[in-house]
Amino acid sequence: MVTDDILCLGCGCLCDDIRIGGVSSAAPTFERACELGRTWLTTLAPNTLPATQDGEAISSATAISSAAKNLATARRPLISGLETLDIHAQRLAIKIADNLRGVADFGAASFTAGPAPGRSTASLGEVAQRADVVVFWHCDPVKTHPRHLECYSAEPSSKWLPNGRKSRKLVLVHPGGAATAALVDKVIAANPAEQLKEILQLRQSAKTKQESPLLSAIKSGKYIAWFYDQSITHGADLAMLDSLVIELQADSRNVLLPLGPANNAAGAAAVTTWSTGFANAVDFSLGYPRSCGDEFSSLKSISRGEVDLHLRFVDLNSQSPTKSADQQIIIGPAAERFAGAKTTTINTSQLGIAAAGPVHRSDGVCLQAVAWQKTTLPAARDVLEQLAHNLAAQ
């Protein structure tokens, strides 16, 4: 049996053209999948305990009932890990956080995955069709997003780029050692600790029409696409990069896009934004949403001792946090690996493997994750629906 058009959540590309052969066999084949994709598609959660409480096995229904009671009595609950959920489940999680006057957070990648006011951006499809110059800013897509060049930024041909790769100029701004360097036309050395300084110098050079290695490399372009990743660790750096791209519009079309983290971080950013007006950690304790950078992030909220219950959604790559709340509710594939005292775990099926649902690619395009494996475990969305129902009845 062959299954076509499977979506891979192994990186921010969210390739939706994967072809799986022998789905029901012990060794299925994965056409078009890169190494990261094959690893993601073949790392399957075991069908083990449906749920645990204080380290003891219980039924999912009992665990959901107990979780609802604990959430209803929590003073300041924190909900995190939204990036592992589909769009519908994310909406439910935000609704629960709002109703409980808690905090919702989806991780350190929030400001790089989320929408930015006034950003000059585009879809990856538009970049593939029109971008004759591509700038990779302090990132290494060959390593982190192996099919990005093939599908979007280098090889696609169109009526505007009839010769594909030969019609494009690729520029890499990187401190060195990047695998992408061998495939681009120009490499510009950079210091990862001085990104803000580099961007400010570029803005000044662009305003005064002074020459710089990067501006000289891109000046022939009609449509210039800039890509960045989580190496930008400060919101101010990203804001300045946004400003630079906007200011360069006078001479050519410039757009800025994230390469994007794995899973559905872009979806979490979009859902949080349209639900609350903010694209990062949101606090509902005053009866309305408010945000202040990373002030309400999981790390800071727990470190300050404010959180008495942590509802955490996980995937197979999730690690135990360095600091945790007094009580935890952990929902996701193989959640029982976090079982312990004052902890309730509920196992769910894997999104994109045994659970279906809509997700957002890094450019905001909505795609459908397909369930191609069978399981007896519920999807996280189903667990959240039951949890919301139980909370409403408290």
- Please state whether the predicted TM-score (pTM) of the whole model is above 0.85: yes
Say which DSSP state 351 is in: B
Q: What is the mean pLDDT of residues 364-381?
A: 93
Instruction: For residue 134, list its beta bridge partners.
Output: 170, 225
pLDDT of residue 234: 77
pLDDT of residue 91: 96
Alpha-carbon span 132 to 215, nearest angstrom: 15
Name 137's Cβ contacts closer than 8 Å, sequence gap at least 6: 173, 226, 227, 228, 232, 241
Dihedral sign for Cα atoms in the order 234, 239, 243, 246: positive
Per-residue pLDDT at 4 exceeds 60: yes
Q: Which CATH superfamily is domain 117-258 in?
A: Dimethylsulfoxide Reductase, domain 2 (3.40.228.10)
Alpha-carbon span 158 to 181, nearest angstrom: 25
Beta strands in the chain (DSSP E): 2-6, 18-21, 29-31, 51-53, 56-58, 77-80, 103-105, 133-137, 169-174, 186-189, 223-228, 253-258, 282-283, 309-313, 327-332, 343-347, 357-360, 366-369
Alpha-carbon span 173 to 192, nearest angstrom: 10
pLDDT of residue 113: 52
Say which DSSP state 12 is in: T
Per-residue pLDDT at 167 exceeds 70: yes
pLDDT of residue 268: 92
Alpha-carbon span 280 to 269, nearest angstrom: 7
Domains 51-109+263-392 and 117-258 are alike in CATH topology: no
Alpha-carbon span 119 to 123, nearest angstrom: 13
Domain 51-109+263-392 has CATH 3.30.200.20: no
Q: Which of the pair, 28 or 305, is modelled with greater confidence?
A: 305
Q: What's the pLDDT tens digit per position in 13-43? A: 999 999 998 777 777 889 999 999 999 998 8
Q: How confident is the model at residue 319 (pLDDT cuts 50, 70, 90)?
A: confident
pLDDT of residue 1: 60
Q: How confident is the model at residue 279 (pLDDT cuts 50, 70, 90)?
A: confident
Q: Which of 278, 279, 261, 260 is nearest to 269 (CA)?
A: 279
Say which DSSP state 379 is in: P
Vertex 254 angle, CA 248 and 260, to 5°: 125
Tokens of 88: 């519908």
Per-residue pLDDT at 215 exceeds 90: yes
Say which DSSP state 117 is in: T
Dihedral angle of Cα 5, 9, 13, 17, to the nearest 10 degrees: -10
What residues does each domain of the chain span?
2-42, 51-109+263-392, 117-258
pLDDT of residue 378: 94
Give the whole-number percent of the chain exceeding pLDDT 70.
96
Per-residue pLDDT at 89 exceeds 70: yes
Per-residue pLDDT at 348 exceeds 70: yes
Q: What's the pLDDT tens digit per position in 216-267? A: 999 999 999 999 998 887 778 888 999 999 999 988 999 999 999 889 999 9
pLDDT of residue 351: 95
